[in-house]
Amino acid sequence: MLPPRGGPRHSYAALDLGTNNCRLLIARPSDDGFVVVDAFSRIVRLGEGLGATGRLSDVAMDRAVSALSICADKLRRRHVALVRSVATEACRRATNGPEFVRRVYRETGIALEIITAEQEARLAVLGCHALLEPGEGKALIFDIGGGSTELVLIDVDSGKPVVHDWYSAPWGVVSLTESEPHIGSDRDGLMESYARMRARVADSFSGFAAKLRAAQVPPGRLLGTSGTVTTLASVHLDLPSYDRRAVDGLIVPAEAMRGISTKLSGMTVAERATLPCIGNERADLVVAGCAILDAIMDIWPADRLGVADRGIREGILRSLMARERISA
């Protein structure tokens, strides 16, 4: 039950363990949504090597448990009243995913829930749809993750997002990088490698693209939530370091994003690592994100791209708080 208006308000938490990142958000309800009181984010690469073995590696699980231990300490110190912790594509695909979930609970006390691709897509929409540009007609929201990419066709004519269709592709920045490495001895070789990456993603999107064409859905607004789009938006703004306030809600010309993707795909890992907001942590994975983004813009050729530094965690928080208000 929520405390009465004007009284102290409980803290709620959302934890998202993805194929590449571990993210935590702790917030308190406010009259117009919620106020963040603590947050945590770390690249853990839980899905590293998963495509080759079908299993989470011991090293990757150790990295994730280390990050989750920090999250558990924050949850205790913030006296969180209600938390939902979800795991996505890496744990869905791994044969030892359930075993890893049991280890996490045993060592940290965090009860991870392995959610479906559809649940993941709907939470991302709930968390970021408010950033859609005003307009009419259907919009496409996408989430480029580490192990999968979710595409969700919605409209918000009623004020709330209504999902008309959705699709989950098995390619994220980690899985695509490992399956179709971006390699080449010169720029031409790198661009040929990039074309192969794009072709692989386009092939996986083909069924969903055909459904859009058959339904004669005209491309309209486009909104992306992921490290890929926020990173490319930072490059577009030429930021010296990442600034969420400058990126979250930004609208970028689609051609500008394509231009950045082309530039990055012709660079080596070492060259990309020198760019602010990319660095060593993202240098090897960002090109896979570019290939996925290009493929999305091919099937939904909007003029502009909305950028969201919010998604699953915010969707979880909103659903938790709404549920508590209903039961109050």
| Strand ranges inside the chain, DSSP E | 12-17, 21-30, 33-43, 82-87, 112-114, 139-144, 149-155, 162-169, 221-225, 251-253, 304-308
In order of their start, the domains of the chain are 12-115 (3.30.420.40), 125-312 (3.30.420.150)
Task: Give Cβ neighbours of residue 87 (< 8 Å, ≥ 6 apart).
Answer: 17, 18, 97, 101, 112, 113, 114, 115
Q: Which two tokens stand for residue 62?
A: 């150790």
pTM attached to this predicted model: 0.91
Q: What is the pLDDT along the chain (328 residues), one digit of tens a residue?
A: 333 343 346 899 999 999 999 999 999 998 878 999 999 999 999 999 999 999 999 999 999 999 999 999 999 999 998 999 999 999 999 999 999 999 999 999 999 999 999 999 999 999 999 999 988 889 999 999 999 999 999 998 777 889 999 999 999 999 999 999 999 999 999 999 999 999 999 999 999 999 999 989 888 899 999 899 999 999 999 999 999 999 999 999 999 999 999 999 999 999 999 999 999 989 999 999 999 999 999 999 999 999 999 999 999 999 999 876 645 4
What pLDDT score does 157 carry?
Answer: 79
